[in-house]
């Protein structure tokens, strides 16, 4: 009798895979609810969504018209300045959308809602970060898609499916790395005024220290070094090559900086490594800050 009762007790114990499935389902439920909350906030104030579309379009139209007669064909493979400028505006709009991703967390901190989430019985604290990154990635990709379509309509260009997939992979890597840094700033900085001040300080220097508005050959040597360190340069030059060359081999060197000659595969791997490093450092700093 004792043996049978022991066997029954052993059979009644929940299996590990059942526990893991319940845990994963609960984490997904937490992420879904937090993302839904962000979408409700976006629906209540859609101005931020439309401003992220209108501002890059104004940059594209006004700057393209201003430098329409610039001799870009003497310096690059692009025929017009619109074609040269479009990849820079696309990457910079993704950067701008991602750098603002810490604002919802900052407002949650100031209004006390983040404290409620931190003391709530969440299965994983990482769901807070994952939900924020997924939300800002989807919104930024939506905004960037409008910019890509508009740039293609202006220049009457055509991209094949492989080029479109490669462009979106590059944009997602930029969004993930920059959004993680923005979330870190939301935890470190004391308030939204300081957060907006940092964004204003970062935005324009990051734009002008990349090849978004001018090629490397136009820059002085010290600015070429800074542009070579800037990860946006590799994303912009990769997308610019995909725009200008219809059948581009991914092993062709298309990025010639002060130190490196890279192809599209190399630049994607470089952006991937930068994204992984950003995620690792941000998670460590946030855990140290919360403890």
- What Rg value do the Cα atoms of the chain yield, rounded? 23
Nearest to 181 by CA among 87, 277, 93, 107: 277
Sequence-distant (≥ 6) Cβ neighbours of residue 252 within 8 angstroms: 263, 264
Question: Distance between alpha carbon 144 and the CA centroid of its chain, in Å?
Answer: 11
Nearest to 268 by CA among 232, 243, 234: 234
pLDDT score recorded for residue 2: 44
Report residues of the chain scoring pLDDT below 50.
1-3, 6, 10
The sign one gets for the Cα dihedral 118, 121, 124, 129 is negative
The reply to whether the predicted model has a pTM over 0.85 is no
Sequence-distant (≥ 6) Cβ neighbours of residue 240 within 8 angstroms: 76, 78, 84, 87, 88, 211
3-state secondary structure of 120: coil
Q: Taking a C-beta distance cutoff of 8 angstroms, is the pair 144, 94 a contact?
A: yes
- Burial of residue 82 (CB within 10 Å: 0-12, 13-18, 19+) is buried
Q: Which long-range contacts (CB under 8 A, 24 or more apart) does 275-278 make?
A: 275/173, 275/176, 275/177, 275/180, 278/176, 278/177, 278/180, 278/181
Q: Taking a C-beta distance cutoff of 8 angstroms, is the pair 175, 140 a contact?
A: yes
DSSP 217: G
Q: How far apart are CA 78 and CA 88, in angstroms?
A: 13
Q: How far apart are CA 57 and CA 79, in angstroms?
A: 20
């Amino acid at each position: 009798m004792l043996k049978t009762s022991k066997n029954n007790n052993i059979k009644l114990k929940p299996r590990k895979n059942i526990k893991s499935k319940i845990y994963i389902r609960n984490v997904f439920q937490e992420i879904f609810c937090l993302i839904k909350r962000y979408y409700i906030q976006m629906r209540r104030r859609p101005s931020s969504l439309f401003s992220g579309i209108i501002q890059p379009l104004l940059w594209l139209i006004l700057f393209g018209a201003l430098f329409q007669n610039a001799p870009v064909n003497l310096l690059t493979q692009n025929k017009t300045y619109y074609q040269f400028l479009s990849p820079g505006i696309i990457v910079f709009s993704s950067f701008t959308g991602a750098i603002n991703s810490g604002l919802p967390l900052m407002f949650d901190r100031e209004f006390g809602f983040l404290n409620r989430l931190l003391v709530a019985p969440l299965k994983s604290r990482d769901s807070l970060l994952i939900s924020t990154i997924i939300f800002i990635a989807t919104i930024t990709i939506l905004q960037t898609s409008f910019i890509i379509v508009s740039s293609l309509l202006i220049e009457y260009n055509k991209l094949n499916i492989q080029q479109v997939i490669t462009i979106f992979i590059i944009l997602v890597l930029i969004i993930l790395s920059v959004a993680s840094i923005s979330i870190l700033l939301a935890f470190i900085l004391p308030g939204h005024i300081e957060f907006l001040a940092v964004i204003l300080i970062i935005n324009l220097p990051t734009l002008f220290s990349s090849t978004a508005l001018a090629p490397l050959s136009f820059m002085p040597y010290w600015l070429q070094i800074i542009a070579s360190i800037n990860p946006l340069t590799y994303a912009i030059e990769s997308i610019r090559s995909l725009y200008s060359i219809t059948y581009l081999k991914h092993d062709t060197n298309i990025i010639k900086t002060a130190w490196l000659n890279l192809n599209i595969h190399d630049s994607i791997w470089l952006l991937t490594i930068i994204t992984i490093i950003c995620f690792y450092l941000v998670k460590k700093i946030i855990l140290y800050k919360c403890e």
